[in-house]
A and B are shown apart, each in its own frame.
Chain A
């Protein structure tokens, strides 16, 4: 497949190898993060006027789901403020390597070297989402908890253990980064094989060994590459490329398929459906139940959520992958293996579901940004003269059509992927049919929730 290495552009290469542009972006993000926490704790309790809520759940979320993830994959991770402080302390440096850091550098326990904890942490936050999304102080506490957990993990364990194994956001960004039209890869694997020091993994005077515990020479998919660009800095052979590529090929890579990643796909697809029902639907009782944390109604909602995401959806999918339409059933992978393989077809559908959900949520509420910018704490300030701007939804007649286009596109992409995966499942292309039917059914339900 054709690729274009952006590092061939001299100016871009200099900008990326230099630590400054990245550092400035990180510093800006860290500033926004700190202000969001402070505003959440001491600003107005009215969510739609609080900088913390508005900037995190409208501005950041829009940037992340509508731009950063689809276009740059883990691009957000390369500027994310959450792990910075922990990383600086761990390294004892902010920019280039120097001296010794404070970290204990323990190895992350082997049995947790997967994304099950991230699956759980995302589901946990999702259960409380109606509160987290609307209560400034809860958003602030959640962000602060992420921050403290990242500092603690950075000091205790080596490299970016928080990002790889704990962060609920990092889990789904990684899943969807497989679809991005951009990738960090080595130019020539033979060069890596011959390079005995592997400075990209161990680090050298120019940069740190891969914080994401990935060996760039072995990368076949974006999932765990944080696009931090350290390997670009450490590789003495100039063997690291940042390629523009046709999106989606990562899903076809048979290496590293796992049940935890498969479940990530279900959790994300399922929560997009649930969120669309709870937040965009006309059912007041459902909204109140999701909000009333601790009550029986909420317990019922939480149980239904968990059952849908971890039971109903994967269960129906398991049935779809059980169907044996193969000409030679013996040549097929086991049922469990087929379940895992085909789950990767849900990745494009899941991203489409999130984009479609976010389109409605973001455009309806984006006009809250301008007053919150001028009056971040809700104290009657007017920093930029926009405090008085009223609320009005943007593009309210266009959004439903966009959502339809996005969901249909997601189904097409999922089918294309399923067809390709059927080969790996050993069942012939016909084997993709039940999976595609599953995708069409989920998309139909989602469309009904979004534009029905």
Chain B
């Protein structure tokens, strides 16, 4: 490929790669607030399935099970709460980690229980953007490898 000169592509990759991995995420703009979400859990989904907060927010999740006992385990934060029908369970924490975090049912509730999953976004999802950048960069790297 003529347009890709021999030296600058590897140099670009060598610079951009680590930068993409290591660059610190920009600091959040919005001031932290208190937020409360009511999440309904029933086999095998959460309503709403996705939540979004800002970094630093004080988040309270009110888990309400409408059919059987369900739980909510938040990946990355390693927090867990369980709720039986008729009782609201609460989980309060500070959203001090940025990114997208899956939450999953922690009480065996039926066949699809391991796949009962929701999502909490805290600020922008830098991991995804970094990942997309890395994938694009990796494709350039793959194209530029000589002597394969």
- Tell me if A401 is interfacial: C-beta within 8 Å of chain B: yes
Q: How far is the CA of A203 from the CA of B137 in the complex (A)?
A: 50
* CB-contact partner of A408 in B73, B76, B100, B135, under 8 A: B135
Q: How far is the CA of A443 from the CA of B132 in the complex (A)?
A: 8
Q: Which residues of B contact A130 (CB under 8 A)?
A: 112, 115
Answer yes or no: A396 CB below 8 A from chain B CBs: yes
Least Cβ distance of A36 to chain B in Å? 17
Report A395-452 residues with CB < 8 Å from chain B CB.
Answer: 396-397, 399-401, 404-405, 407-409, 411-420, 429-430, 432-433, 436, 439-440, 443-444, 447-448, 451-452
Residues of A within 8 A of B139 (CB): 411-412, 414-415, 436, 439-440
Interface string of A260-280 (1 = CB under 8 A from B): 000000000000000000111
Please name all residues of chain A whose beta carbon is closer than 8 Å to the beta carbon of B127 when the two chains form the complex.
400-401, 404, 451
Interface of chain A residues 222 through 238 with chain B (CB within 8 A) = none
A407–B118 Cα distance when bound, in Å, is 22
Contact A48 B108 (CB under 8 A): yes
Instruction: Name A's B-contacting residues (CB within 8 A).
Output: 46-49, 130-131, 134-135, 278-285, 287-288, 291, 361, 364-365, 391-393, 396-397, 399-401, 404-405, 407-409, 411-420, 429-430, 432-433, 436, 439-440, 443-444, 447-448, 451-452
Can you report 30 A-B residue pairs in the complex whose CB atoms are below 8 A from each other? A47-B113, A47-B114, A279-B114, A280-B115, A280-B117, A281-B117, A287-B44, A287-B45, A291-B111, A361-B114, A365-B114, A391-B106, A391-B108, A393-B73, A397-B75, A401-B127, A408-B134, A408-B137, A411-B142, A412-B141, A413-B142, A415-B141, A416-B142, A418-B142, A419-B145, A429-B1, A429-B143, A433-B143, A447-B131, A448-B128
Chain A residues positioned under 8 Å from B125 (CB to CB): 451-452
A447 touches B148 (CB 8 A): no
Q: Which of B112, B136, B137, B145 contacts A287 (CB 8 A)?
A: B112
**Closest B residue, CB atoms, query A437:** B139
Cα-based distance from A436 to B44 in the complex (angstroms) = 37
Asked whether A419 and B112 contact (CB < 8 A) given A444-B132, A447-B128, the answer is no
Additional 15 contacts, C-beta under 8 A, given A404-B127, A418-B142, A436-B143: A280-B115, A288-B112, A291-B111, A364-B104, A396-B78, A400-B127, A405-B134, A408-B134, A408-B137, A408-B138, A411-B135, A415-B139, A418-B143, A440-B139, A444-B132
Q: Which 9 A/B pairs are nearest by Cβ-Cβ distance? A: A284-B45, A415-B142, A412-B138, A416-B142, A282-B49, A404-B131, A396-B75, A408-B134, A134-B111
Q: Please list the residues of chain B having a beta carbon within 8 angstroms of any beta carbon in chain A.
A: 1, 44-47, 49-50, 73, 75-76, 78, 97, 99-100, 102, 104, 106, 108, 111-119, 125, 127-128, 130-132, 134-143, 145, 148
Q: Tell me, rounded to whole Å, the shortest Cβ–Cβ distance linking A138 to chain B.
A: 10
Chain A minimum-CB-distance residue to B133:
A408
A396 near B145 with CB under 8 A, answer no
Q: How far is the CB of B108 from chain A (nearest CB, A)?
A: 5
- Give chain A residues whose Cβ lies under 8 Å from the Cβ of B114: 47-48, 134, 279, 361, 364-365
Cα distance A131–B116 when bound, in Å?
A: 14
Closest residue of A by beta carbon distance from B118? A282
Q: How far is the CA of A340 from the CA of B102 in the complex (A)?
A: 38
Q: Which residues of A contact B118 (CB under 8 A)?
A: 282
**With A280-B102, A419-B142, A452-B128 in contact, is A49–B75 under 8 Å at CB?**
no
Distance between Cα atoms of A404 and B127 in the complex (Å) = 8
Say yes or no: B128 contacts A430, CB within 8 Å: no
With both chains docked as a complex, state the minimum distance between the C-beta of A287 and any C-beta of chain B, in angstroms: 5
